[in-house]
Structure 1
């Protein structure tokens, strides 16, 4: 799988000074070393806006901010990678212009946002679509087939050794060691965790006896802060296994996931397939694009453990400069150039043209009152 990974490279020092990525929850990503492409029709309004939230989209946001600010020197975007839960809270409190989250605002949060949004609605703009990797560190084993129920039992600490008969049955050609299984989960509230437990609840049935949640539901065997913390713990152990947004899994060994009778490897195409097939969430307000992912799909060639990360914005702001810059920046995020730049850096699935057209219509509806 390594050939389709991009790498987030060091450089672009001028952009680094405009990126705020050092607070709690940051995965300390750095900007790419060359300017990502940008569309020709950017308005580049002067000023600055701030966002906070998802650490899963941090590597993507570094690329987006670098690309936008290199094209628009007088426009500054700050993003603080504090995790999805904190990002939604900061947005609802009015502390930031937009939020980044791997779980769309729920109905209660949507109602709460009315006050923050000056009586208008808050909308969820899906901008970053990536697989969640099940990454493991087992010397001598460079691939594994894992069914949904097996993954659930591993992370529920019911499967305790790697030569368990359930793992062995789907990997008959492997000489699996009697090494203890050490699952690693997120220590912080996380949209990655919420998406991962959504998948387990939908696909694993009774093998996952917990409700989906952004906080890990059982006492952890080991935990890490942010995607980078989980990745470091998996890399630093033996017999470890964790779930990470794919751009943090570079250089790690990952599992193929069972769909029906086949096992599917991650790729932008296999991850994007589930999003194309998933409907928008029932009850969405106008211009809201929260999705209802079909984690239990049986569609061949579909990688089912997918994270859709959103930008959350108000339909109404009171500062015209903020409104203009936010709309221009969000338009860049969902543009063909913005999506391709991030795909090359992180392995994300670019948004299809028809979905991008719908998102641009909603971004265009953001106004100043």
Structure 2
């Protein structure tokens, strides 16, 4: 079947129960004991850069937040996760979105010029499948396993009628045509998620470590998520990875092998992978990061799931900036904020348990 935007978000209802608690979108309430002011007092502008995967979600979040807080403005520029993290280090962004949290070495090095101290807040706000979409006339779905996917993107499978693809899709009319894999040219957390999947599940073929920068010279490159989507639409025989919220209309869908099943991407299936993942150890109290292992994906879960983060400071020089960031973070993790993202981007709402941990981290932002 062809994948439409409505089909991409249809699974949300099945997991809506994960996000029943939280603040109303038109009334971002302040938790008891919090220093954040009521919505009516919020004024000023905060600027952010980062993950292009969050684009649709950020559009929904900023619109609802600004409608509820008419004196506040949130500007989010989808530059890509790598640029976002660089801007946070340099002090160019008040907060960022990133498909990868800062790693242990980066946190130990510190030097976050956006902050007045090295303590940072990292909270998961956006869970979404990284989909594989393709443009192949007459073919709407394909079953692919990890070894075959890795072989395609490593440049070891050159034709669509390759025996490895044909064996998994005996009923598909596969052409004797070149495979044109598309990857991100910019530093990207989506690339990090995808290469982590390849390395964990097909290490004999994909011998490179997971990395936010595409590690080899192969295939076609495109800037940001929108560029990958455009390249897939424009080129016959193309296949690429991108956040499922931005799959181009009419693109074919890859069902990825997980356990004994071939699983279509969906918010529900991505949530199943992430919900079973432990939190990373050795992190600070304001640093809530998942340790997702694609190789441990259970049958029925989608094994390429992106967990994207909102990242800010515990301490800001400007306390009004701190208040705005804190209030905005509280809204986007709320049940209504998560529903807004689900409706606009097809993402999976965070669970109540994750929300509770995220709220405790956000509460540490100093606003006085």
- TM-score (ref. length: structure 2): 0.89
* Aligned with 1:191 (options 180, 189, 192): 189
- Asked if the contact 1:184–1:240 (Cα under 8 Å) also holds between the matched residues in 2, the reply is yes
Q: Cα–Cα, structure 1 residues 215 and 114, in superposed 2: closer, same or farther, change >3 Å?
A: closer
Aligned to 2:339: 340
State the Cα deviation string for residues 289-347 of structure 1 (Å, max 9, x = none): 11110211241210011111111111112221111111110001100001011101111
Of 165, 168, 171, the residue aligned with 2:169 is: 171
Report which stretch shifted further, 38-47 or 72-81: 38-47
Q: In the superposition, relative to structure 1, how do residues 331 and 89 fare at CA in structure 2: closer, same or farther (>3 Å)?
A: same
Q: Distance in 2 between matches of 1:118 and 1:112?
A: 15
Quick check: 107-116 or 63-72, which moved more? 107-116
Work out which structure has the larger RCO, using CA pairs closer than 8 Å and 6 or more positions apart in sequence.
2
The answer to whether the Cα contact below 8 Å between 2:260 and 2:299 also exists between their aligned partners in 1 is no
Work out the CA distance in 2 between the residues paired with 1:224 and 1:38: 38
- In the alignment, the residues of structure 1 paired with residue 225 and residue 316 of structure 2 have an alpha-carbon distance, to the nearest angstrom, of 32
CA distance in 2, matches of 1:275, 1:39: 29
CA distance in 1 between partners of 2:220 and 2:26 (Å):
41
Counterpart-to-counterpart distance in 2, 1:253 and 1:206: 27
Two-structure CA RMSD over aligned residues (Å): 1.7
Structure 1 stretches of 5 or more lacking a match?
A: 8-35
**How has the CA–CA distance of structure 1 residues 312 and 115 changed in structure 2, closer, same or farther, with 3 Å as cutoff?**
closer
> Which residue among 29, 37, 42 is the counterpart of 1:41?
29
**Residue matched to 1:156:** 154
- Partners of 1:132 and 1:143 lie apart in 2 by 16
What is the aligned partner in structure 2 of residue 287 from structure 1?
A: 286
Distance 2:144 2:60 in 1: 32
Report the more deviating stretch, 246-255 or 328-337: 246-255
Please tell me whether residue 110 in structure 1 is matched to residue 107 in structure 2.
yes
- The structural deviation recorded for 1:366 is 0.8
Aligned equivalents of 1:290, 1:266: Cα separation in 2 = 23
Matched pairs, number: 341
- The equivalent of 1:318 in structure 2 is 317
Unaligned runs of 5+ in 2: 11-23, 31-37
Aligned residue for 2:62, secondary structure, equals: helix
Where does 1:225-264 land on structure 2 (aligned, <5 Å)? Answer: 225-251=223-249, 252-264=251-263
How much has 1:250 moved relative to structure 2? 4.1
Q: Whole-Å Cα distance in 2 between the matches of residues 200 and 68 of structure 1?
A: 37
Deviations along 1:193-251, whole A, 9 cap, x unmatched?
11110110011121111111111111132111111111111111111000011111042
- Which residue number corresponds to residue 354 of structure 1? 353
2: CA distance between counterparts of 1:159 and 1:241? 12
Deviation at 1:119, TM superposition (A): 2.7
Mapped partners of 2:112, 2:136: distance in 1: 50
Instruction: Check if 1:58 corresponds to 2:61.
Output: no
CA contact under 8 A between 1:39 and 1:337: conserved in structure 2?
A: no
- With 321-330 and 102-111 compared, the bigger mean Cα shift is at 102-111
Q: Is the 8 A contact 2:314 2:365 kept in 1?
A: yes
Q: Does 1:5 align with 2:2?
A: no
Of residues 77, 100, 109 in structure 1, which corresponds to 2:97?
A: 100
**Residue aligning to 2:64:** 67
Secondary structure of the equivalent of 2:262? Answer: strand
Q: Which residue of 2 aligns with 1:139?
A: 137
Farther-moved stretch of structure 1 (138-147 vs 42-51): 42-51
Which residue does the alignment assign to 1:215? Answer: 213
Shift of 1:113: 3.3
Give 3-state SS (helix, strand or coil) of 2:311's partner. strand
Distance 1:321 1:236 in 2: 45
Per the TM alignment, residue 188 of structure 1 is displaced from its structure 2 partner at its CA by 0.8
Shift of 1:259: 0.9
